[in-house]
């Protein structure tokens, strides 16, 4: 298994984290994102969107961190990471969707602006970011995990950019439930430090 990777990318970290949590190994192929390696023809042949992460397993390329989590969970992980019952699957799909939209356009975009100096509407991204921090903090009151009684790929999909929110200029101090959840995730066997 090979992972086309960029160390500082939260989406790539998401996949590396999950590989660690389920005790799977992938060879890391680092792409020089700042110099546009993701837009070269040889990489576009694998992922026409020109983005990392990209996993190649059994010769099959698979793009998108959320899609990769689903694949790895179904193929290699204990069932609790992506339970088979309809309600859990629906709830997890909702969190994966939140990661791809509201989290990407909020906390992640604010980080892209502040940490990487890219042109973004920082105020808008931070306002969206705060909405998500509040939503997840409220959801976690009285719960250990986002879905059900055990960690799932929902936690893995949502955790990275929330835990990195300070790099987008967002203060995490007002969200005690998030801190307890971060600590639970960090205590899982195979946990990998944030980039
Ligand atoms: N929906 C995708 C987004 C992937 C994405 O935005 N990747 C960024 C790095 S975090 C990237 O490759 N950016 C380079 C580019 O778009 O040129 C996912 O979740 O994997």
Q: What is the rounded CA–CA span in Å between residue 96 and residue 77? A: 17
Q: Which two tokens stand for residue 24?
A: 């799977």
Q: Supply the CATH number for residue 147's domain.
A: 1.20.1050.10
Question: ∠ CA 183-92-185 to the nearest 5 degrees?
Answer: 10
From 5, 8, 11, 156, give the residue whose CB has the most ligand 1 atoms within 8 Å, as the site to mutate. 11
pLDDT of residue 191: 98
Q: Supply the CATH number for residue 72's domain.
A: 3.40.30.10
30 and 108 share one domain = no
150 and 54 share one domain = no
Neighbours of 148 (CB within 10 A): 17
11 and 87 share one domain = no
Do residues 22 and 63 make contact, with C-beta atoms less than 8 angstroms apart?
no
R_g of the chain computed on alpha carbons:
16
Considering the domain boundaries, does residue 191 fall inside one? no
56 and 143 share one domain = no
pLDDT of residue 70: 98
Residues whose beta carbon lies within 6 Å of some atom of ligand 1: 9, 11, 33, 38, 50-53, 64-66, 100
Residue bearing tokens 């590989």? 19
What total of structural domains would you count in the chain? 2
Neighbours of 115 (CB within 10 A): 13
70 and 150 share one domain = no
Considering the domain boundaries, does residue 194 fall inside one? no
pLDDT of residue 102: 98
Task: Among 79, 100, 134, identify where a domain stops.
Answer: 79
Task: Among 46, 64, 79, identify where a domain stops.
Answer: 79
Show pLDDT as tens, one digit a residue, over the chain (195 residues). Answer: 999 999 999 999 999 999 999 999 999 999 999 999 999 999 999 999 999 999 999 999 999 999 999 999 999 999 999 999 999 999 999 999 999 999 999 999 999 999 999 999 999 999 999 999 999 999 999 999 999 999 999 999 999 999 999 999 999 999 999 999 999 999 999 999 999
Give the H or E element holding residue 143. none
9 and 28 share one domain = yes
86 and 74 share one domain = no
149 and 175 share one domain = yes
From 10, 52, 116, give the residue whose CB has the most ligand 1 atoms within 8 Å, as the site to mutate. 52
Closest residue by Cα to atom 3, ligand 1, is 64
Closest C-alpha to 72, from 17, 151, 34, 33: 17
What is 15-77 written as a DSSP string?
HHHHHHHTT---EEEE--GGGTGGGSHHHHTT-TT--S-EEEETTEEEE-HHHHHHHHHHHHS
145 and 61 share one domain = no
Task: Among 23, 47, 79, identify where a domain stops.
Answer: 79
Which range marks the domain in which residue 9 is found? Answer: 2-79
* Terminal-residue alpha carbon distance, the chain: 21
CA 27 to chain centre: 19
Do residues 172 and 166 make contact, with C-beta atoms less than 8 angstroms apart?
yes
Considering the domain boundaries, does residue 175 fall inside one? yes
Q: What is the rounded CA–CA span in Å between residue 165 and residue 5? A: 21
């Amino acid at each position: 298994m090979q992972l086309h990777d960029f160390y500082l990318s939260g989406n790539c970290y998401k996949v590396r984290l999950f590989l660690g949590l389920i005790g799977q190994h992938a060879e890391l192929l680092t792409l020089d994102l700042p110099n546009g390696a993701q837009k070269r023809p040889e990489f576009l042949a694998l992922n026409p969107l020109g983005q990392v992460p990209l996993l190649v397993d059994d010769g099959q390329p698979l793009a998108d961190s959320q899609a990769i989590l689903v694949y790895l969970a179904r193929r290699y992980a204990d069932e609790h990471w992506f339970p088979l019952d309809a309600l859990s699957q629906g709830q997890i799909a909702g969190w994966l969707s939140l990661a791809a939209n509201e989290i990407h356009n909020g906390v992640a975009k604010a980080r892209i602006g502040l940490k990487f100096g890219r042109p973004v509407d920082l105020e808008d991204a931070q306002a969206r970011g705060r909405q998500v921090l509040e939503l997840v903090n409220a959801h976690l009151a009285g719960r250990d995990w986002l879905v059900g009684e055990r960690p799932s790929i929902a936690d893995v999909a949502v955790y990275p950019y929330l835990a990195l929110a300070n790099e987008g200029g967002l203060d995490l101090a007002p969200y005690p439930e998030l801190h307890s959840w971060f600590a639970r995730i960090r205590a899982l066997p195979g946990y990998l430090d944030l980039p």
